[in-house]
Amino acid sequence: MAVSNYQNLIVWRKAMDLAKEVYAIVKLLPKEELFALSDQIRRAVVSIPSNIAEGCGRESKSQMMNFLRIAKGSAAELETQLLLCKEIGYIDEIKLKMPLILLDEISRMIRSLMQKG
């Protein structure tokens, strides 16, 4: 699976959009979470498009697959963290609805890329 420009991948663009949405949501978290949950969420959401891009820049199909697996893992991590925010009452379900839908779509797209691999 050779991808000459990761920026042309719809999944990468959607992951970038998700990162912007999640960064806005993180601003709603309490200040005491600034260096804990907030930081973890930001790292997870940035990891998704970053690993898609890094995989595209690698030399082999197996390396690409590895980075897609990492991106998929980061998506699952992010979903868990966002659901935790809802469960502990930091962010209401309405604000999380669209990011969670987009995250699910991105996860399915990554899985599809891996199957085509």
Tokens in use for 31? 């200040």
Query: What letter does residue 23 receive in the DSSP assignment?
Result: H
Q: How far apart are CA 12 and CA 53, in angstroms?
A: 7
Mean pLDDT of the residues in the chain: 94
SS3 112: helix
Query: For residues 15 and 10, what is the distance between their CA atoms, to the nearest angstrom?
Result: 9
Q: Tokens for 93?
A: 């379900």
In this prediction, residue 69 carries a pLDDT of 98
pTM confidence score: 0.94
Q: What pLDDT is attached to residue 28?
A: 93
**In whole angstroms, what is the distance from residue 97 CA to residue 103 CA?**
10
Q: Name residues of the chain where pLDDT drops below 50.
A: none
Contact between 91 and 85 under an 8 Å Cβ cutoff? The reply is yes
6-116 CATH, one of 3.40.640.10, 3.40.50.300, 3.40.1390.10, 1.20.1440.60: 1.20.1440.60
Tell me how crowded residue 33 is: count the other CB atoms within 10 A of its CB. Answer: 17
Q: Which tokens sit at 12?
A: 């990468």
pLDDT given for residue 3 in this prediction: 67
CA 67 distance to own-chain centroid: 13
